[in-house]
Amino acid sequence: MPGKLKAKIVAGRHLPVMDRASDLTDAFVEVKFGNTTFKTDVCPKSLNPQWNSEWFKFEVDDEDLQDEPLQITVLDHDTYSANDAIGKVYIDIDPLLYSEAASVISGWFPIYDTIHGIRGEINVIVKVELFNDLNRFRQSSCGVKFFCTTCIPQCYRATLVHGFVEELVVNEDPEYQWIDRIRTPRASNEARQRLISLMSGELQRKIGLKVLEMGGNAVVGYLQCFDLEGESGLVVRAIGTACTLDKLSSGSAPNTNTHMHPNTAPASNACNSPSKDGKESPLAHGCRSTHNSPVHSVCSSQRLSQNFSVSVPTLIFTGMGSGGSAGKEAGPLRTLLRQQTQTALEQREFPFFTLTSFPPGFLLHVGGVVSARSVKLLDRIHNPALGNTRSYKLLDWNSVTADEPETRDAWWEEIRQEIKSHARALGCHAVVGYSESTSICEEVCILSASGTAAILNPRYMREGCLDIGCTDHRFEEPSPPNCGFCHIPYDELNMPFPAQLTYCYHCRRQKVPDVLFTTIDLPSEAAVAGKGCLIQARLCRLKKKAQGEANATAISNLLPFMEYELHTQLMNKLKLRSMNALFGLHIQISVGENMLLGLASATGVYLTALPAPGGIQIAGKTPGDLSSEHISSIQKRINDTIAVNKELYQINPPELAEEGVGSPIPEPRHRSRLFRSHSESSDELSELDLSHGKKDAFVLEIDDTDAVEDIHSLLIDAPPPTGFYSCNTENMPGISNWTSGVQMFTSVRVLRLSNANLTNQGLNKIFTDLCENLLKSFYFKLRSMIPCCLCHLNFTVAVPEEELIQVTVTAVAMTYDKEQTQEKTAEKPVNKGSLEAEEQLQFPLELCADSSSSNIQTASKISGVGESTNMSPRAASVDYGSFADRCSTWLELLRLKAHTIRRGSVKTISSLERCSPLQEGRSRSLRSSRSFGGSSVTVVKMTPLSFLPGTRIIKYLGIINMFFIRETTSLREEGGVSGFLHSFIAEVFAMVRAHVAALGGNAVVSYSMKECVFMENPNKNQAQCLINVSGDAVICISETDQESSASTANTGQTGGSETDGAT
Amino acid sequence: MSVELDVFVGNTTIMDEEVYQLWLDGYTVNDAVKVRMEGGVMDECEASKDVLLSDTMDQYRTFQMCERLLHSPAKLANQLLFQIPPHRQIMLIERYYAFDDTFVREVLGKKLSKGTKKDLDDISAKTSVTLKSCRRQFDNFKRVFKVVEELKGPLVENIRQHFLLSDKLARDYAAIVFFANNRFETGKRKLQYLSFQDFAFCAGQLISNWTVGAVDNMVEDMDVDLDKEFLQELKELKILITDKDLLDQHKSLVCTALRGKTKVFIEMEGSFKNLSRGLINIAAKLTNTKDVRDFFIDLVEKFIEPCRSDRWSAADMKLYLTHYTNSAHILDTFKHQVVWDRYMGVVKSCIFKMYHD
């Protein structure tokens, strides 16, 4: 008995009236875990019952603790007939199983019923006593932490990144069981909720076991999905990245983003042993099988014979290429390094990482996006033996459904192999920002996987080497961190497809592609110009209705064309915004009965390391075309749009900035001149290419009306209104000075296509308008938050029925300080100059490090500069920017710096900036609002990002993974479909918040709504919806709280240095 | 092609105060969109009519879902469904319970019953407040009435605590409850010139001086029912008009004090006995429920109208009533000073408030 679970039912409130006669309720509670059930006394005639029960104790295996939720059912006692259920609460007790997470779950939980929604609340206390179990063969994996966050969580440090973990479990869907015919839909839905709760518990336990096997203690970037395959069953699958995480002692770190400023440890503990073979390293544990073939063919056409399947030729997006210059400076070292990484990574079956942002120095080079899709037919084999399973306990798939998970496993295995071979073709040994998804329509299923091919620093793969910052990194790797990841990862002479390469505009040492597409977040140290923006490509393709194999073939024939068109659209839109890189690229292809929908979203950005994008040229098919006037007018519109966008996103050509600097150090100037000559030649080259290259993506030929339409649709995308920016990544390129305003939202829109004979063009227009209108709606609704940025805009499309298009969006709007942004932009040239001049390097750097008000010493000597320039998620650059007020020039800044060094503290100046009236005002208002009203409900903030601006996470309380079904048979009475879904989404939010609050948390980070399946039958006045959400429950505290105390302590000093600054 | 479903849900519930007001005022979604378009909100964010329509629908749905909670505002603070910042909650409640003076003027003093509710469409037509809004306001009155009916303690405080209203609004509701309970007549033509605020002021005076609660503050209905004992005692004041000596003495005292201080002295002297009889008779009859209902109409007919026809100014009125009240204290044979003060204090301030055009 390795665990004792204790639960106490305290009270209820706001219960519904169950007895019409008395207008009251005789409520009691059933508490169930596994097969044990306890009951409380009946609390007669009360809508606010006080049970104050004894502690109900369950003695259980920890395996069950992981799999099973605690089920609490509130019922109305009825003497004469059956007791009526009021509703249920499922409590996932997993968070109580890690030592560092929550110790008790206690609070008010909404009582939920699938028909009536939330019906009052119940106050419950849950505790777990775990006994140590040293059994080697145990089936549980208690203690493995799970994070949805796709970066190393704040307040942890990754000592080792083990790699990819995956698992899936399969079961009969209760909705499709024979018993469904005799039980109510409500019972069926409850069975489904319960089953999925069990399955995700089991899945998590199994993944945990794999992590333990690999020697890790946590899963980061945990992504769990459901496939509702209908009659063929229910698949719950998950992927993640196994890591060994160390908790940073809370005292040492007011430093929110430790992973971005790692402390510089003595360089001696760097990976000083290139000879250390990867085979000896513990990562070999991670391999699922011994299968380790070194070569994978790019297109594996051999498929499982039992299932019909079609392999879709996959496009590899990118400009990509070679380390042609690898041998130039640090050639041998680098090659060695690469070999070493290669071997380390080749040990694993899948060198995949679900993370999207990494500690500095982890990511060496990025190749480009790799993706693979495959169309499968779901087998209809219905095992008759299954029909007898009445209990909702998990089926034993070793016997009955033996081949089910294996089939699914094999499918995914295929896809992953393909991804791996694509990555290899790009000269990369790893895939980062990896994710998997499915789209199911009837018996056809599209499996998709995508990621970014990359070369990683092997240090992070070996034990005990993670302490080092980036200092030693320089010696191994000559490319500076703010452009290094752009450098092409493989051989220039041996590229898998043509790309234009130029020397890096930053370091001038290595080659970079002309555009870069990735699925990851913009690395924090990357150098960018201006702001980023959301770029979407949208596409509809009609297809004939068909069945079975014919249908699957039709779909798989369409897929490559869709991918190609989406890619072209993305490329053109990128050029139109005068940007040269895409981050967070996510392409979703959704299948319906008579159409396919494709939606690609990404955040465009101008990387200063990459060449400036050329414009878009319009060309007529034949030179003597009559419409040449027309063409030139379009060309003009395009050029105008580009110019407008440049201004809008504040993209200033970096060459100009460089020249404007007038670097004070002679040596670097000399060098930069040297490089400039390089750049000139490469510029010429690209110009030449442009004039020749009709094959380039950005030369659009107008050969028919369709092409004209396409160009028009390009120009349709309206820029966000003034004061708004948007992106779909964790960080908004160019904005980092967030203020505290945060508004997470979910929006769902369903469009009915009434026009029976639509063309592809017409559909495209409708779909594009749908997405654009959604964005416009968001801007309008959130206008009170201006200046504000919509971050992590996550669009999901679906074709729930013929003629219906559903778009679901979850995002967060965050306010930022506009003025400081502008100052910062003005300052940019100064920062850039400092990159060139290594001796100057420390100055802005120390400023930055000091001002981040933490105890970090000037650790990140190299990476720090890049951060202060661009991407540091928070305050660091805020303070830096404020200096610009006083120091109009670079030299003055230097002088001031020297001055202050003599006098003493820069720190105090920055803390002075920090306690500016604005900040004080904010904290004051916060305090006053707290005292207001005296509400008993904890405010729980939610965000799809991994951080909350202005706060720092001090504790992760566990993963939130919830699944709800809501149904109605009185759709009209509940306000129609919109009313029904509106209240359901509000209820889901409420339940997430309640669970977080009960864990003692005050926020959910990395929140996502992974499933929102809506079905309606208006004729029968019925509807049903299924929602799955997940996220990390955390405790976060306001940064300003600490700072204000720090700044008051420093006030005396502050006055002094202030005057110093003025002189 | 049509939008089948369109929802937007924020973790913090988004509410636009302007739309909330339109909803409270009973505008349909389409009318509200029109009003908003005219208000120029479209220019703010390059919005189109569709955007505005979608936003308005979302907000209307949110308000409808919140309405249930607003019926017992204390629930709003500890419900879990909507995350609403406290200052917003207060705004929501305050606005929900706010009412139109023109509407409340129509139902003031009427029984808050189904019968009255049926007449709401007439009132709506008359006041040009939408029927929906009339219903909300009427139901608010009724709800507050029902809740405080059964509570002990001071009326205003009870309303404020139960419905989390501001002091001002709680006082207005107290007045409404008080009027509804005592069924004061306010609808007569002669009373039409009085606004709700006039009556609310008078109600406040009556509540704090004439109710049971004015003497004992732990009785049920203390602030809603008039103090029966006091009403009984008022009969004693009749001596001021039945005893001829006392009446003459009183008159001469008042006239001495007023002489030379006002332009309408002659008129005051001439009508003293009539006016005094009027006021004392009102006092003496207050034991009858019927006469309590007519209290305000009596004040107007017996006192305000005669004075007005004699063209007294408001200052004259003040002067006259002050001396009228104070002189009674000098009368040796008049023993009911306490009752007199309790009566005249309220009557005086009511008349001051009511003496306008």
Task: State what percent of residues in chain B have pLDDT above 70.
Answer: 97
Residue A550, amino acid: A
Name every chain B residue with its beta carbon within 8 A of the beta carbon of A940: 11, 83
Determine, for residues A978 and B57 on separate chains, whether the beta-carbon distance falls below 8 Å.
yes
In this predicted structure, what is the pLDDT of residue A30? 95
B42 versus A450: the higher-pLDDT residue is A450
> What sign has the CA pseudo-torsion B221, B227, B229, B232?
negative
pLDDT score for A339: 52
Chain length of chain B: 357
More confident residue, B164 or A273: B164
Interacting residues of A617 by C-beta distance below 8 A, sequence separation 6+? A635, A690, A698, A699, A700
- pTM assigned to the model: 0.80
What is the pLDDT at residue B308? 87
Percent composition of chain A: helix, strand, coil (DSSP 3-state, to 5): 35, 30, 35
CA-to-CA distance for A937 and B74, rounded, in angstroms? 12
The 3-state DSSP class for residue A429 equals coil
Q: Report the alpha-carbon distance of residue B175 to residue B105 in Å, rounded.
A: 12
Of A783, A935, A978, which has the smallest distance from its Cβ to B5's Cβ?
Answer: A978
Give the ipTM of the model, two decimals please: 0.88
B17-24 helix and B29-38 helix, angle to the nearest 10 degrees: 130
**Backbone Cα Rg of chain B:** 25
Of B7, B44, B77, the CB nearest to A985: B7
pLDDT of residue B130 exceeding 90: yes
**Residue A607, token pair as written in the block:** 């990387």
Using CA of residue A822, residue A826, residue A832, residue A838, what is the dihedral sign?
Answer: negative
Q: Which of A785, A941, A947 is nearest to A873 (CA)?
A: A947
| pLDDT for B195 | 92
pLDDT, position A109: 94
How many CA within 13 A on the CB side of residue A920? 9
Reduced to 3 states (helix: H, G, I; strand: E, B; else coil), residue A698 is: coil
Kind of pairing, strands A788-798 and A941-942?
unpaired
Instruction: List Cβ neighbours of A51 (8 Å cut-off, separation of 6 or more).
Output: A9, A10, A11, A12, A28, A29, A40, A41, A43
Question: Is A933 close to B51, i.e. CB distance below 8 A?
Answer: no
Our separate counts of H helices and E strands in chain B read 22, 1
B86/A985 CB distance under 8 A: no
CA–CA gap between residue A101 and residue A438 (Å, rounded): 32
Interface with A, mutate which of B2, B3, B8 (most A CBs under 10 A): B8
Chain A residues close to B89, C-beta within 8 Å = 933, 935
- What is the average pLDDT value for chain B, to the nearest integer? 88
Q: Which residues of A touch B83 (CB under 8 A)?
A: 937, 939-940, 989-990, 993
- Written as six digits, the tokens of B69 are 């909670």
Query: How many angstroms separate the CA atoms of A168 and A145, rounded?
Result: 19
Answer with the residue of higher pLDDT: B312 or A905. Answer: B312
B46, closest residue in chain A (CA to CA) = A721
CB-closest option in B7, B82, B86 to A978: B7
Q: Find where tokens 């979850």 sit.
A: A810
Which chain B residue has the Cα nearest residue A932? B86
Helices and strands, counts by H and E, chain A:
21, 32
Upstream peptide bond of A384 is cis (omega within 30 degrees of 0) = no
Domains of chain B by residue range = 17-85, 101-188, 228-354
Check CB contact under 8 Å for A804 and B48: no
pLDDT of residue A155: 83
- The whole-angstrom separation of Cα A400 and Cα A234 is 15
| Per-residue pLDDT reduced to its tens digit, B177-198 | 999 988 898 888 888 999 999 9
**What is the rounded average pLDDT of the residues B235-246?**
86
The residues of B whose Cβ lies within 8 A of any Cβ of A are: 1-14, 44-48, 50-52, 54-55, 57-58, 61-62, 64-65, 75, 77-83, 85-87, 89-90, 164
DSSP bridge partners of A177: none
Tell me, what's the pLDDT at B124?
Answer: 92
Instruction: Give the span between the Cα atoms of A586 and A600, in whole angstroms.
Output: 6
Residues ≥6 apart with Cβ < 8 Å to A218: A144, A145, A146, A147, A156, A211, A242, A243, A244, A245
pLDDT at B342 over 60: yes
State the pLDDT at residue A797: 94
Regions of chain A with pLDDT less than 50: 1, 136, 251-337, 381-403, 463-478, 656-697, 821-934, 1043-1063
- pLDDT tens-digit readout, A683-722: 333 332 333 333 344 566 665 566 666 676 666 677 888 8
Q: How many CB pairs under 8 A join A and B?
A: 152
Residue numbers in A near B53 (CB within 8 A): none
- Distances in whole angstroms, Cα of residue B288 to Cα of each of B1, B190, B291: 69, 22, 5
CA pair distance A511, A495, nearest whole angstrom: 13
Closest-CA distance, B274 to chain A, in angstroms, reads 55
Q: Do B5 and A1014 touch (CB under 8 A)?
A: yes
Q: What is the pLDDT of residue A276?
A: 31
The answer to whether the CB atoms of B4 and A977 lie below 8 A apart is yes
Q: In angstroms, what is the C-alpha Rg of chain A?
A: 29
Closest CA to A867 of A833, A887, A888, A844: A844
Which runs of consecutive H residues, i.e. helices, occur in A363-472?
A: 403-425
Q: Residue A818: what are its φ and ψ, rounded to 5°?
A: -70, -45
The secondary structure of B105-134 as a DSSP string is HHHTTS--SHHHHHTHHHHHHHHT--HHHH
- Please, where are the H alpha helices in A887-1007? 890-903, 907-914, 917-931, 976-998
| Contact criterion met (CB < 8 Å) for B89 and A935 | yes
Measured CA distances, A27 to A36, A86, A732, B227 (Å): 20, 9, 50, 44
Taking CA–CA distances from B59, the nearest residue in chain A reads: A781
Which H or E run contains A1059?
helix A1039-1062
How distant is the Cα of B69 from the closest Cα of chain A, in angstroms?
11
Q: What is the pLDDT of residue A707?
A: 65
Compute the distance between CA of residue A536 and CA of residue A768 in angstroms, rounded to an integer.
Answer: 9
**Residues in chain B closer than 8 A to A108 (CB atoms):** 80
On whether the CB atoms of residues A846 and A504 are closer than 8 A, the answer is: no
Q: How far apart are CA A9 and CA A74, in angstroms?
A: 10
Q: Which pLDDT does position B164 carry in this prediction?
A: 93
Interatomic CA distance for residues B49 and B210, integer angstroms: 57
User: Which residue, A676, A808, A740, is CA-closest to A1038?
Assistant: A740
B317 neighbors B293 (Cβ within 8 angstroms): no
